[in-house]
Amino acid sequence: MVPCLLFMVVLSPWGWAIRQPPDTVVSQGQPLTLNCSLSTTQITTMYWYKQAVGKDARLQLVMFSTEGSSANVEKPFEGHFQSSGTKNNVLSLFAETAQPSVR
């Protein structure tokens, strides 16, 4: 099994609060839902990134969404991660079945 980190990135020089889940552990094959929310309406685009643990630990953009619109899932992750988009400053990421690694 190859662990990976999924996290939200929003650049904020004004110190807005970003709320994202703590470490989440799911068994392979189980559904996965992660939510991230912002405390401001001044940022309209949110991003989910994946970071593999180990030798190749670069960031990979998974998806992004602008407030009130559907999410844009990057090609390597289409069919695995889904989202209904950003609503009320919350961007959720879903996977029907958790897998050890998605490249």
3-state secondary structure of 76: helix
What domains are there in the chain, each with its CATH number?
4-95 (2.60.40.10)
Confidence of residue 82 (pLDDT cuts 50, 70, 90): very high
pLDDT for 59: 82
Residue the block writes with tokens 């094959």: 29
Q: Is the pTM higher than 0.75?
A: no
Contacts with 68 (C-beta within 8 Å, 6 or more apart), sequence order: 85, 86, 87
